[in-house]
Amino acid sequence: MTNALMLYIGAATAACEEVKRSKKLAKLLEPILLFGNYMNTGTSKSEAFGFEISFPRNMHI
């Protein structure tokens, strides 16, 4: 691989790690997730709950 490609991969990996560790992003996404789950209530997808807010931190990329 070229050096430029390795730099891009390194930057993308670092960005993913920041997203996984971000407590502020988790707090931002939490009400969105709750609202989506609420909107699914009573529909044919009512048992299709969204992921838990810990999901991004548990991803292994």
20 to 24, 44, 47, 58: CA distances (angstroms): 11, 31, 26, 8
Q: Which one is predicted more confidently, 30 or 59?
A: 30
Q: Where are the alpha helices (DSSP H) in 1-61?
A: 3-21, 23-40, 55-58
Q: pLDDT digits over 34-54, tens only? A: 888 787 777 766 666 555 556
Q: How many domains does the chain have?
A: 1
Q: pLDDT digits over 23-36, tens only? A: 999 899 889 888 88
The neighbour count for residue 12, using CB atoms within 10 Å, is: 11
Confidence of residue 55 (pLDDT cuts 50, 70, 90): low
pTM of the model: 0.50
Most confident of 3-17, 21-35, 46-60: 3-17
Can you read off the two tokens belonging to residue 33?
């997730």
Can you read off the two tokens belonging to residue 20?
């996984």
Q: Which domain holds residue 49?
A: 3-58
